Amino acid sequence: MDSVNFMSGYRCPVCGGRMSLKMGKSLVCDAKKAHVFDLARSGYVNLSQKQSATGDSKEAVWARSTFFELDPYRSLRQELVRLSQTYLAPGKAALDAGCGEGYYTNAMASACPDSFFFGVDLSKYAVDHAAKEAKRLAAGRVCYAVASVSDLPFYDRTFSLVTSVFAPCDEEEFFRVLEPGGVLVLAAAGPGHLLGLKRLLYEHPYLNEERRDLPQDRQLLFKKRISDRIEVEGEERISALFEMTPYFWRTREADREKLKGLQTLQTEVEFDLYVYQKDT
Ligand SMILES: C[S@@+](CC[C@H](N)C(=O)[O-])C[C@H]1O[C@@H](n2cnc3c(N)ncnc32)[C@H](O)[C@@H]1O
Ligand SMILES: [Zn+2]
């Protein structure tokens, strides 16, 4: 991949043709009757074919971006940056599948200025935020698209690195777009993730179970657990944290009330990273 044709990394979601950037504002495929995808003002492109599939709502995106303002998951971010620097050679490309607001994608892109980054997410609100942040941070060669992790708009063997952080895993698609020897990093909640929050909410807080959708017959290079403690200040940020967790939907109204008026929350955060390699 070279910087002039950076966006030709995309595969047309309609006909499979190669895409290129025209006039700096549209992605156009090479079919005779070309398919055209206009870039949004922030710079992302919508390549999703299913109008019914939407990903996270505006509210969920707002909750995550408000929570991330103080960099609370910096321990995970730092580890992902380290892994991207380890596994991504200059000139090579990485994909963050289910990238959300680009909190990790933009950090990795900033730390690897000689490589190329793509982020996809089904939520247009999330990628819009991610693309704006990339501009603000001058995060370099990073492109965002609305697309599903189960129908990635890329050719086979495009990426040296695929990351999937708290997002749905489509093993077949991830390994299809990885080049031989490429690396997949999956990040999930560890057993003790947000235990401090759960202690406040529930009488008998439970530990998280291991993710069920982990690849089974792939080469696991290693697994790493990251544990940290964080302090979240302010009712708005605490409630934003709660809203971005799966517990938000499962918690009874009476238990939700326990967070009202809370100004400081101290909690464990724990992340499990699974690093796989595609056979050469
Ligand atoms: C919990 S968030 C994680 C976002 C980001 N990786 C992070 O950790 O900040 C899960 C994300 O997956 C996206 N998502 C859900 N289903 C998806 C799919 N089939 N394809 C692409 N993205 C999807 C949601 O829109 C949401 O942004
Ligand atoms: Zn096309």
- CA diameter of the chain: 64
Which pLDDT score, from 0 to 100, does residue 61 have? 87
pLDDT, mean of residues 247-269: 88
Rounded Cα distance, 21 and 256, in Å: 48
List, chain by chain if needed, residues with CB within 6 Å of any ligand 1 atom.
55-56, 64, 98-100, 103, 121-123, 126, 148-150, 165-168
Q: What does the mean pLDDT of the chain come to?
A: 92
Which pLDDT score, from 0 to 100, does residue 140 have? 66
pLDDT band at 104 (very low <50, low <70, confident <90, very high): very high
pLDDT band at 4 (very low <50, low <70, confident <90, very high): low
Taking the domains of the chain in order of start, what are their residue ranges?
Answer: 1-39, 43-277
Query: For residue 171, which phi and psi values (nearest 5 degrees)?
Result: -55, -45
Which pLDDT score, from 0 to 100, does residue 53 have? 67
> How close is the Cα of 17 to the center of ligand 2, in Å?
5
- Of 214, 187, 194, whose CA–CA distance to 273 is shortest? 187
- Residue from 103, 105, 122, 244 to probe ligand 1 pocket by mutation (most atoms less than 8 Å from CB): 122
Q: Is the pLDDT of residue 59 over 90?
A: no
The tokens for 193 are 């993730």
> How close is the Cα of 221 to the center of ligand 2, in Å?
37
Which range is least confidently modeled, 50-59, 115-124, 248-257, 268-277? 50-59
Q: Is the pLDDT of residue 65 over 90?
A: no
> How close is the Cα of 176 to the center of ligand 2, in Å?
20
Helices (H) and strands (E) in the chain, counts: 9, 11
- Ligand nearest the Cα of residue 32 is 2
Rounded Cα distance, 87 and 230, in Å: 28
In tens, the pLDDT along 166-180 reads: 999 999 999 999 999
Q: Is the pLDDT of residue 206 over 80?
A: yes
94 contacts 104 by C-beta, under 8 angstroms = no
CATH superfamily of 43-277: Vaccinia Virus protein VP39 (3.40.50.150)
Q: Residue 93's beta-bridge partner residues? A: 116
Which pLDDT score, from 0 to 100, does residue 266 have? 95
pLDDT band at 270 (very low <50, low <70, confident <90, very high): very high
- Ligand nearest the Cα of residue 101 is 1
112 contacts 137 by C-beta, under 8 angstroms = no
- Ligand nearest the Cα of residue 10 is 2
Task: Decide which of 24 and 16 is more confident.
Answer: 16
245 contacts 194 by C-beta, under 8 angstroms = yes
- Residue from 62, 166, 169, 272 to probe ligand 1 pocket by mutation (most atoms less than 8 Å from CB): 166
In tens, the pLDDT along 27-42 reads: 999 999 999 999 999 9
pLDDT, mean of residues 114-129: 96
Ligand 1: which residue has its CA nearest to atom 1?
Answer: 166
| Residue environment code for 15-33, b if the CB has 16+ CB neighbours within 10 A, otherwise e | eebebbbeeeeebbbeeee
Which pLDDT score, from 0 to 100, does residue 243 have? 86
- Which residues 6+ apart lie within 8 Å of 150 measured at CB? 168, 170, 173
> How close is the Cα of 153 to the center of ligand 1, in Å?
16
- Residue from 49, 56, 108, 146 to probe ligand 1 pocket by mutation (most atoms less than 8 Å from CB): 56
Say what the pTM is.
Answer: 0.94
Q: Is the pLDDT of residue 3 over 60?
A: no
Rounded Cα distance, 59 and 244, in Å: 10
- Ligand nearest the Cα of residue 185 is 1
Q: Residue 87 burial by CB count (10 A; 0-12/13-18/19+): exposed, middle or buried? A: buried
* Run of H or E residues at 80: helix 74-87
